[in-house]
Amino acid sequence: MTTDTTTETTATAGGERHAFEAEVSRLLHLMVHAVYSNKDIFLRELISNAADACEKLRYLSLSEPGLLPPGHDGFRIEIAADAAKNTLTISDNGIGMSREEMKDNLGTIARSGTRAFLDQLADKGGEQKQGQALIGQFGVGFYSAFMVADRVRVVSRKAGSEEAFAWVSDGKGTFELSPADLAEAPAAGTRVTLELSADAATYAEEATIERIVREYSAHVPVPIRLAAADGEARELADGAALWVKPKASVTPEEYKEFYGHVGGLWDDPALTIHYRAEGRHEYSVLLFVPSQKPFDLFDPDRRGRIRLYVRRVFIADDAAILPAWLRFVRGVVDSEDLPLNLSREMLQQNPVLEQIGKGVTNRVLAELGKLADNDAEAYAKVWDAFGAVIKEGLYEAPERRDEIYKVARFQTTGHDGWRSLGAYVAAMKENQTAIYYALGESRAAVLASPQLEGYVARGLEVLVLTDPVDAFWVRTALGYEGKPFKSISQGAADLDLIPLPAAAEQPDGDTDVGPLAVALKAALGDKVAAVRASARLATSAVCLVASDYGLDRRTEKLMARGTGGAPSSAVLEINPRHELIRALAKVEAERGETAVADAAVLLYGQARILDGEAPEDPADFAARLGRLMQAGLG
């Protein structure tokens, strides 16, 4: 999806002046005035962009060597500072940009995601760390240059092109785009020159630049050089790939820096996975599990963010190495076996990459399991953030269900916090034959459900499932350790072998409500599939449940919303121990079916309300309730 990048174009002497989108102008103002207290991050963003440009050209030149200009002696990023002129320049010899690419990439932000980004930015206010995360996740780092610059000039030449263009803006509403003199343009690549503001003069000092590069960009896979005042070029980073280094030689600080570079995130990673696989296929892996949700976690495309390299040559930044249900993982996989001319089309069908994907997925699940076993508190935070995504695997990857079950955690009625299925099964009651679950929009809604009463009264633990994906995976789940999953709102409750405690029993036992059930069904007709006595109710008079072979009530509602249809008729269960049901059974026995007709509609309406829905006919429900109240007062 694309959007118009400008709202106004005006001819100038050397080119055209364009107006930023209104949203872009608003964003620039917020970035400069509201997001950052530490402005160092702008240099990291510009270096990351330059490194990505070099990697793209490195890849394309494998199949098109002519893209590399004559005399090309390796990819690099060069930084030059001029304290006298108060300028800072970041140059690369990467892929470069055409005129249209400069207009699109520098004249608009995050394309269709701009408004969402702005909403998030406004919500976060001036929180520095949150602001940094927002910038990284929405790909708008270039604009951070305006935090320190009164004016930014970009000169770029697309690799293989005979034309170069200049983009100039003060970030206050417009930008100019014009042809650039080839003499001032790189042979290929981009040069960004910042005319620093008075309060940002320190960024033209070599010591400041060295500090920032070492702190934020020391491990980008492209060498970084600083053009010193004495005319010598000093190397600040050697471009050595962190992922090929031995794990023991990498410090936590280096991992954190690289995580920021490759993941575009600013939280501390909850888990770092670094290893080299040898054997049939050889590859290096450096992956990170974030500790906070990225903003694209529930993007409809569900794309991964794993960078694929082949012998340290960048191939793709969104390779489908991990399944979609592990898309929150960030990092790098570098293969020794894949061909360097691997195309995006071949990526989807390459058997070697498929085997690598299986191996990496196995390792990620194993490391998540270790974290869960060794640090339950840290793992609880990971599951809080990504549990809903991991559970997609229970539906999409049935062959991995047992592995996912081991790392899955659930809220239950019997415990606070997260609970494993292993712990649930170990605590099952005598004669309990199934793992019970309840679907709902929230924990509070589930705990208020009348269908839950009989289970709680018997001390049975019930899984509380509130993520939308839960309604789908439980339908196909065969069970865990021989115990099937069973909804508390579907079919007959198999609770007869687990008696109520004595305190919950009525002194004279259950009432025979068979005739009353027949009378209620006759009054309600097709509104309900059946009326029967309930073993699952403890304190409520009625509830609605799905039939034995129907969908769970929550699942059926979700599917009905998607198709625009209506759920099928439910079963009305009545509580033979409830005083109201006892009284109605007595009335029916003495006066016949017609005496409970109004009560039938009211009980059905009450059951719908308890199920989170309005009575089918609110006006009729209110009229019948009014008549009943009037009769009671007469």
More confident residue, 42 or 37: 42
Domains of the chain: total: 3
Q: Is the pLDDT of residue 535 over 90?
A: no
Rounded to two decimals, the pTM is 0.70
More confident residue, 226 or 558: 226
Average pLDDT of span 606-632: 87
Phi, psi at 78, each rounded to 5°: -120, 135
Residue 546 within a domain: yes
Model pLDDT, residue 309: 86
Binding residues for ATP, as ranges, are 45, 49, 92, 97, 105, 112-113, 137-142, 190, 344
Boundary (domain end) residue, out of 207, 237, 267: 237
Residue 518 within a domain: yes
Boundary (domain end) residue, out of 179, 210, 237: 237
The domain of 263 spans 243-381
Residues 289 and 377 placed together within one structural domain of the fold: yes
Within its chain, how far is the Cα of 601 from the centroid? Answer: 44
pLDDT confidence bin for 22, thresholds 50/70/90: low
Alpha-carbon distance of 400 to 76, in angstroms, equals 43
What percent of the chain has pLDDT above 90? 50
Mean residue pLDDT across the chain: 85
More confident residue, 10 or 394: 394
Is residue 449 within 8 A of residue 489, CB to CB? The reply is yes
CB-based burial label for 235 (10 Å; 0-12, 13-18, 19+): exposed
Residues 257 and 183 placed together within one structural domain of the fold: no
Is residue 424 within 8 A of residue 432, CB to CB? The reply is no
Alpha carbon of 514 to those of 99, 309, 533, 538, 541: distances in Å? 81, 70, 7, 18, 15
Residue 408 within a domain: no
Residues 193 and 341 placed together within one structural domain of the fold: no
Model pLDDT, residue 420: 96
Is residue 281 within 8 A of residue 335, CB to CB? The reply is yes
- CATH of residue 131's domain is 3.30.565.10
Model pLDDT, residue 432: 92
Residues 549 and 445 placed together within one structural domain of the fold: yes
Supply the DSSP string of 14-73, one letter for each residue. Answer: SSEEEEPPHHHHHHHHHIIIII-S-TTHHHHHHHHHHHHHHHHHHHHHHH-GGGSPTT--
Average pLDDT of span 586-608: 90
Residue 478 within a domain: no
Boundary (domain end) residue, out of 366, 381, 396: 381
Binding residues, as ranges, are 45, 49, 92, 97, 105, 112-113, 137-142, 190, 344
Residues 72 and 178 placed together within one structural domain of the fold: yes
One-letter-per-residue 3-state SS of 104-162: HHHHCCCHHHHHHHHHHHHHHCCCHHHHHHHHHHHCCHHHHHHHCEEEEEEEEECCCCC
Model pLDDT, residue 160: 93
Residues 618 and 511 placed together within one structural domain of the fold: yes
Q: What is the pLDDT of residues 86-114, one digit of tens each?
A: 999 999 999 999 999 998 878 765 443 44
Residues 226 and 132 placed together within one structural domain of the fold: yes
Q: Is the pLDDT of residue 345 over 80?
A: no
Q: Is the pLDDT of residue 424 over 50?
A: yes
Q: Which of 6-10, 38-42, 466-470 has the highest mean pLDDT?
A: 466-470
Residues 139 and 192 placed together within one structural domain of the fold: yes
Q: Is the pLDDT of residue 627 over 50?
A: yes
pLDDT confidence bin for 7, thresholds 50/70/90: very low
Q: What is the pLDDT of residues 122-156, one digit of tens each?
A: 554 444 444 443 334 334 578 889 889 999 999 99
Residue 433 within a domain: no
Residues 455 and 595 placed together within one structural domain of the fold: yes
Residues 39 and 174 placed together within one structural domain of the fold: yes
Report the helix count and the strand count for the chain, using DSSP H and E.
21, 22
Strand, coil or helix: what is 627? helix
Average pLDDT of span 404-410: 97
Model pLDDT, residue 357: 95
Model pLDDT, residue 21: 59
Residue 448 within a domain: yes
- CATH of residue 296's domain is 3.30.230.80
Residues 251 and 192 placed together within one structural domain of the fold: no
Residue 450 within a domain: yes
- CATH of residue 621's domain is 1.20.120.790
Residue 447 within a domain: yes
Alpha-carbon distance of 556 to 97, in angstroms, equals 51
Model pLDDT, residue 28: 65
pLDDT confidence bin for 1, thresholds 50/70/90: very low
Q: Is the pLDDT of residue 176 over 80?
A: yes
pLDDT confidence bin for 117, thresholds 50/70/90: very low
Residues 231 and 261 placed together within one structural domain of the fold: no
Torsion sign, CA atoms 91, 97, 100, 105: negative
